[in-house]
C-alpha cells in the first residue's frame, strides 16, 4: 500500500514553488515552438483551477534580487573577487 502511494504521487506544482524563477532565454522562433509544444501538451477540462497570481511571484523574485544586490553592494567599492553572476547582478 505504501509503495503504491509513492508510485501514484504527483510531482508538486511549479506554481507553488517559492524559489526564484530560473529559465533559459528563448529567441522568438524558439519561444513560438515552445508555446506550441506547451499548448499541445495541455489537457482540456471543464474543471476550474485557482493558482497564485504571477504578479505576486514576480514581486517576491524582485525582492530576492534586491536583497542579493544589497548584499553585494558593500564589496563594489572594495577590490573583492566576485563571481561572474555577481558581476552581472551588480551591472544590471
Domain positions in the chain: 25-91
pLDDT in tens, 13-57: 767 777 776 666 778 888 899 999 999 998 888 888 788 889 999
pTM of the model: 0.41
Contact 68, 88 (CB under 8 A): no
Contact 91, 73 (CB under 8 A): no
Amino acid at each position: 500500500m505504501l509503495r503504491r502511494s509513492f508510485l501514484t504521487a504527483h510531482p508538486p506544482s511549479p506554481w507553488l514553488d517559492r524559489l526564484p524563477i530560473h529559465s533559459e532565454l528563448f529567441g522568438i522562433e524558439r519561444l513560438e515552438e515552445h508555446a506550441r509544444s506547451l499548448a499541445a501538451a495541455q489537457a482540456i477540462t471543464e474543471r476550474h483551477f485557482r493558482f497564485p497570481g504571477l504578479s505576486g511571484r514576480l514581486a517576491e523574485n524582485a525582492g530576492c534580487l534586491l536583497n542579493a544586490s544589497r548584499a553585494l553592494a558593500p564589496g563594489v567599492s572594495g577590490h573583492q573577487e566576485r563571481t561572474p553572476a555577481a558581476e552581472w547582478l551588480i551591472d544590471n
